[in-house]
Amino acid sequence: MLIIGSHVSPYVRKVLVALAIKGLIHEVDPITPFFGNDEFSKLSPLRRIPVLIDGDLVLNDSTVICEYLDEAYPQPLLMPASPADRARARWMEEFADSRLGDLIIWRLFYRRIVAPRVYKLAPDEAEIAKVTDVELPAAMDWIEERAPAEGFLFGHLCIADISYACFFRNALLAGWTIDAARWPRTAAWIARVEAVPAFADTIRFETAIVSSPMAERREALIAAGAKLSEKTYGEAAPRASIMLG
Ligand SMILES: N[C@@H](CCC(=O)N[C@@H](CS)C(=O)NCC(=O)O)C(=O)O
């Protein structure tokens, strides 16, 4: 199996953690989506990561990919057992992927980390402050009401737990951390998810990426133990996002 996409993307990380928990051997082509080549555009029509290639099957979207993995390789299951809990888990995951995606990825991480490095754009601190001081805290209040007091959302670890922890890694990389005094249940729950070995193992790849210049990232990832594909769908110059316009 091949996963196209950088380990730092929360959507890619979700898939990589699922693969690791299921013990599925895979390689990664760790590209930042903006650097995808024409072949990448064919595989990923929205030019987004992750993409999973499993034989002749090409899948887009982390939720679609994780549901495929759970059905094709059910040991251990990463969705709850009952239809009602499965539906609840999908909604929790959707809230993270959409709302935390919008706040943490597009309006915080993209502005503070991606745009300055990839497009040489200065971050708009006033816009960032709206996210960190107003909108993200409102989302955190919603999450805090639903965070489990112990264990995970639906008993055993599921994709929704993993999804939340992935977004908070990107928040941390962009300088925002969960205030444990204000959102104690969420802070403790996310710490439990991060401590799961398959999740904790991803941190060294994140460190390798954020601490090396673009040209040295492959070597840094290999040195950290990542299994990378020889073929890459990346190219040297970035293109504009078709999703951000
Ligand atoms: N719903 C998608 C979202 C994937 C996504 O937005 N990935 C980001 C990277 S974190 C991306 O590829 N962005 C490039 C762009 O939108 O131009 C999923 O769950 O996979």
Question: Per residue in 221-230, pLDDT tens?
Answer: 999 999 999 9
In the reported structure, the alpha carbon of residue 124 is separated from the centroid of ligand 1 by a whole-number distance in angstroms of 21
- Could you tell me the residue range of the domain that residue 14 belongs to? 2-77+212-223
Sign of the torsion angle spanned by Cα atoms 14, 16, 19, 21: negative
Share of residues in the chain with pLDDT > 90 (%): 97
pTM over 0.95: yes
Instruction: Tell me: do 72 and 105 sit in the same domain.
Output: no
With respect to residue 179, please indicate whether it lies within any of the assigned structural domains: yes
Instruction: Tell me: do 105 and 162 sit in the same domain.
Output: yes
Question: Per residue in 205-238, pLDDT tens?
Answer: 999 999 999 899 999 999 999 999 999 999 999 9
The answer to whether residues 184 and 176 touch, using CB atoms and an 8 Å cutoff, is: no
Instruction: Tell me: do 72 and 90 sit in the same domain.
Output: no
Tokens representing residue 88 in the block: 């609840």
Residue from 7, 9, 11, 243 whose mutation best tests the ligand 1 pocket (most atoms within 8 A of CB): 11
Instruction: Tell me: do 91 and 52 sit in the same domain.
Output: no
The Cβ-side half-sphere exposure at 89, using a 13 Å CA radius, reads: 25
The answer to whether residues 233 and 32 touch, using CB atoms and an 8 Å cutoff, is: no
CATH number of the domain within which 87 lies: 1.20.1050.10
Instruction: Tell me: do 61 and 88 sit in the same domain.
Output: no
Q: H-helix or E-strand containing 90?
A: helix 83-95
With respect to residue 232, please indicate whether it lies within any of the assigned structural domains: no
Q: Is 62 in the pocket of ligand 1 (CB under 6 A)?
A: yes
In the reported structure, the alpha carbon of residue 149 is separated from the centroid of ligand 1 by a whole-number distance in angstroms of 31
Q: What is d(CA 132, CA 103) in angstroms, rounded to the nearest whole number?
A: 9
The per-residue pLDDT for 114 is 93
Question: Per residue in 100-159, pLDDT tens?
Answer: 999 999 999 999 999 999 899 999 999 999 999 999 999 999 999 999 999 999 999 999
Instruction: Tell me: do 72 and 91 sit in the same domain.
Output: no
The per-residue pLDDT for 243 is 82
Confidence check: pLDDT of 244 > 90? no
Q: Is 232 in the pocket of ligand 1 (CB under 6 A)?
A: no
The per-residue pLDDT for 125 is 93
Instruction: Tell me: do 89 and 71 sit in the same domain.
Output: no
What integer is the mean pLDDT of 193-208? Answer: 98
Confidence check: pLDDT of 245 > 80? no
CATH number of the domain within which 216 lies: 3.40.30.10
What does the DSSP 8-state code read for residue 122? P
Instruction: Tell me: do 192 and 88 sit in the same domain.
Output: yes
The total number of structural domains that make up the chain: 2
44 Cα nearest atom in ligand 1: 12
Ligand 1, atom 14: closest residue by C-alpha: 48
Q: Give the C-alpha distances (Å, rounded to integers) separating 187 from 90, 91, 143, 154, 183.
A: 21, 20, 11, 17, 6
Residue 204 burial class via C-beta count within 10 angstroms: exposed 0-12, middle 13-18, buried 19 and up: middle
